[in-house]
Amino acid sequence: MNKNFRQQFLPYLFCYAAWLGFIVIGFWLFTQLRVTLFDLVWLSSQNVWLARSVNQWSAVILGLAWLVAIMFLENYLRVGVTKNLLWARIKRVLWVNLAIAGMTIGVQIILIPLLT
């Protein structure tokens, strides 16, 4: 193996490992956001038809957003390898995921019990 291949192999391995990890985290966030939206709509309106439609449409819209985010994220991390910014970009994406998870869980823990 040549030296250039070995130097580039590990960063790309970490890049795609992080990408796969963020795909899993993103899917978990997708499911949590969908549950949170359904709960908020159900608690605020008590309308079965509205809650079902929000549930179904949120699956489509959040699913498309998740797909676009996956494609954007792969490019973002791959370019980070070439610019030697992979770890900074992984941290930035991780903080965004943690912020979204924190807000979603915060709504589930704090706001939903107040509305019931």
Per-residue pLDDT of the chain (116 residues; tens, 9 = 90+): 566 767 788 899 999 999 999 999 999 999 999 999 988 888 888 888 988 999 999 999 999 999 999 999 999 999 999 999 999 999 999 999 999 999 999 988 987 787 76
Q: What CA–CA distance (Å, rounded) separates 24 from 76? A: 17
Q: Which long-range contacts (CB under 8 A, 24 or more apart) does 104-110 make?
A: 104/29, 104/32, 104/33, 104/36, 105/32, 107/36, 107/40, 108/32, 108/35, 108/36, 108/39
Instruction: Give this prediction's pTM.
Output: 0.84
Q: How many CB atoms lie within 10 A of CB 104?
A: 19
CA dihedral over 47, 65, 70, 108, signed as positive or negative: negative
